[in-house]
DNA sequence: AAGGAATAGTTGTCTATACCAATTGATATG
DNA sequence: CATATCAATTGGTATAGACAACTATTCCTT
């Protein structure tokens, strides 16, 4: 399990091992871990090395320590990861609110990028871009009208079928890209005729416009999402820790 | 400078000392710090203890290390601190947008807490609460209508004069309390008669409602702020890193 | 002049040990 | 029965030293 003659540091190996146990569910939130001294003896390594592994996981939000009692699996997932989840996936957002998410495809096209979209996606003007329009449902009622823009050269093999599943997990898992950060712009507006029709509200009723740009670690834009949420059904919530 | 027989841990003393140097500007972004072994010899402490101090500051975003080269003062302030700044102070928010912030007091009262307010401030119902209503200006034009609620037992000595300065810095600097986290709820709505009057817009025009709850480290609520922003002038922007 | 080897200085990892501080539960005591 | 004390167990702090990995410089060889 732990290789002492590996170029990978022991504390790192141990840390990853514990992370896996947590993610597999073998260690559940609130569980107490074996004591530092136990790990040290178990793997025949120094207690300080165990502490180095623990400390890193504490900093990442996986564990918390209580002097005299023990080290425990944290109740919540790491805060940064949590924040991004809420931002990236409509599905998970709705599930967190106790509602059943759904989706209804309005249109699925490849269009030439307008200058504004091209700029935001970091591609050439008139370059091919997927434009995916969907009505987002919560408990079978319209919650938002969402339009995704993704460079067709960047993400290949997108089909209507995939769109019915999670676009976000397709990007992340199938293409092996890891989204590192996102910007959101939120503004308040009133529903246009078109929005009103799709959202089943009156024209002029308040809506919340959310524009999200997501990026890879190196700053490459991944996608652009413009959404109109029904103000009577949706509140945007955010918690900033520390 | 470093007291070895203090109940305060040496690594913590050293960390705070270095933080002060950075905040005073004696150590500037990009500067290289004395080597770990130098610190160890300078204060007659173990190199591992120095490392513990450094590691903490690295995690907090004050320093970054490069193996073989040295330890450097980070270029930017810690991101978490940065994020909270933008959230907590209307003044700083407007300045960041290149606008001149202003304030116009509407009312300043001590009222008995409603059950909702009492619950959010963690006090007894009907307990005394400052209710501070202000029109927030940007470039001399109304931007938002803001109402603060603060427990009068918790924060004493609040006067109308103080309100004209920064309420946030009063709490933090004068009272020595450090705000650790905040939750925000953002929703979209349309202006009531009253809001329209204060914001100089038409009733029925879109507004953005922002409710912010701020807390100390131990979870004690500090204040509750309800704001109505003019949708034609204000967009809420947020960046999530990692 | 170019390239490589040696070297010194840096942070990174790891060990083994010691004692302190907080919590818990068992035990003795009133 | 309540309470004080003690012992065991836990994480927290600190030491001293060793070697690895990486960087930059210097100096030597070609």
Which residues, in sequence order, are CB contacts of B204 under 8 Å at separation 6+? A204, B190, B191, B196
Q: Note the pLDDT of residue B200.
A: 97
CA distance B134 to B165: 12
Chain A residues closer than 8 Å to B229 by CB? 188
Cβ atoms of A152 and A130 closer than 8 Å = yes
One-character DSSP codes across A176-210: ---EEEEEEEEEEEE--HHHHHHHTS-TT-EEEEE
Query: B10-76 has which CATH code?
Result: 1.10.10.10
For strands B101-112 and B70-73, give the pairing.
unpaired
Q: How many CB atoms are located within 10 Å of the residue A212 CB?
A: 20
Chain A residues closer than 8 Å to B236 by CB? 185-187
Question: Which bases of strand D sit closer than 7 A to a protein CB?
Answer: 9-18, 21-24
Protein residue closest via CA to C1' of C10: B68
Burial class of A60 by CB neighbour count within 10 A (0 to 12, 13 to 18, 19+): middle
The CATH class of A80-230 is alpha beta
- In sequence order, the β-bridge partners of residue A58 are none
CA distance A242 to B182: 8
Partner-chain residue, chosen from A59, A235, A239, that has the shortest CB–CB distance to B181: A239
Q: Which of A192, B89, B203 is nearest to B230 (CA)?
A: B203
Cβ atoms of B183 and A241 closer than 8 Å = no
**CA distance to partner chain A, nearest, from residue B122 (Å):** 18
Contact pairs from chain A to chain B, CB under 8 Å: 100
Q: How many CA atoms lie within 13 A of A199 on its CB side?
A: 27
What's the Cα-to-Cα distance from B24 to each of A128, B19, B165, rounded to whole Å? 52, 9, 24
**CA distance to partner chain A, nearest, from residue B29 (Å):** 22
Q: Helical H runs in chain B?
A: 10-24, 36-43, 47-60, 79-88, 90-96, 115-121, 160-164, 167-169, 193-199
Asked if the Cβ–Cβ distance from B87 to A234 is below 8 Å, we say no
Question: Which bases of strand C sit closer than 7 A to a protein CB?
Answer: 9-18, 21-24
Chain B residues closer than 8 Å to A59 by CB? 59
Give, as one character, the DSSP assignment of residue A45.
-
Chain A residues closer than 8 Å to B55 by CB? 55
Q: What is the pLDDT of residues B136-159, one digit of tens each?
A: 999 999 999 999 999 988 877 777
Distance from chain centroid for Cα B44: 37
Residues of chain B with CATH 3.40.1410.10: 80-230
Within 7 Å: CB of A48 and strand D? yes
Protein residue closest via CA to C1' of C23: A68
Q: How many CB atoms are located within 10 Å of the residue B23 CB?
A: 11
Q: What is the pLDDT of residues B54-87, one digit of tens each?
A: 999 998 889 999 999 999 998 866 555 556 655 6
- Tens digit of pLDDT per residue, chain A (242 long)? 788 888 899 999 999 999 999 988 899 998 999 999 999 999 999 999 999 999 999 988 899 999 999 999 988 665 555 566 556 678 878 988 899 999 999 999 999 999 999 999 999 999 999 999 999 999 999 999 999 999 988 877 777 776 666 677 777 666 667 677 888 899 999 999 999 999 999 999 999 999 999 988 667 898 999 999 999 999 998 877 65
Within 7 Å: CB of A7 and strand D? yes
Residues of chain B with CATH 1.10.10.10: 10-76
Closest-approach nucleotide to residue B51, Cα vs C1': C11
CA distance B184 to B219: 15
Asked if the Cβ–Cβ distance from B180 to A206 is below 8 Å, we say no
**CA distance to partner chain A, nearest, from residue B11 (Å):** 15
CA distance B31 to B177: 31
Partner-chain residue, chosen from A80, A84, A231, that has the shortest CB–CB distance to B188: A231
Q: Helical H runs in B10-97?
A: 10-24, 36-43, 47-60, 79-88, 90-96
Asked if the Cβ–Cβ distance from A188 to B207 is below 8 Å, we say yes
**CA distance to partner chain A, nearest, from residue B77 (Å):** 14
Is residue B161 over pLDDT 80? Answer: no
Asked if the Cβ–Cβ distance from A231 to B83 is below 8 Å, we say no
Q: Note the pLDDT of residue B60.
A: 86
CA distance B98 to A165: 42
Q: What is the pLDDT of residues B200-221, one digit of tens each?
A: 999 999 999 999 998 876 678 9
């Amino acid at each position: 399990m732990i290789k002492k003659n590996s170029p990978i540091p022991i504390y790192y190996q141990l840390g990853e091992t514990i992370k896996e146990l947590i993610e597999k569910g073998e260690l559940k939130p609130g569980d107490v871990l074996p004591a530092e001294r136990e790990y040290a003896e178990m793997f025949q390594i120094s207690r300080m090395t165990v502490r180095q592994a623990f400390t890193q996981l504490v900093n990442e939000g996986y564990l918390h320590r209580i002097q005299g009692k023990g080290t425990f699996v944290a109740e919540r997932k790491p805060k940064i990861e949590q924040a991004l989840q809420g931002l990236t996936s409509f599905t998970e957002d709705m599930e967190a609110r106790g509602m059943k998410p759904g989706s209804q495809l309005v249109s699925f096209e490849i269009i030439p990028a307008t200058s504004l979209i091209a700029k935001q996606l970091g591609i050439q003007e008139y370059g091919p871009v997927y434009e995916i329009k969907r009505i987002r449902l919560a408990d079978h009622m319209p919650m938002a009208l969402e339009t995704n823009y993704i460079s067709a050269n960047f993400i290949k093999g997108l089909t209507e079928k995939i769109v019915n599943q999670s676009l976000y997990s397709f990007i992340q898992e199938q293409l092996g890209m890891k989204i590192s950060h996102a910007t959101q712009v939120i503004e308040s507006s009133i529903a246009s005729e078109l929005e009103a029709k799709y959202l089943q509200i009156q024209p002029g009723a308040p809506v919340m416009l959310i524009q999200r740009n997501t990026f890879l670690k190196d700053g490459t834009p991944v996608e652009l999402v413009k959404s109109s949420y029904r103000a009577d059904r949706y509140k945007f919530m955010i918690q900033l820790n520390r």
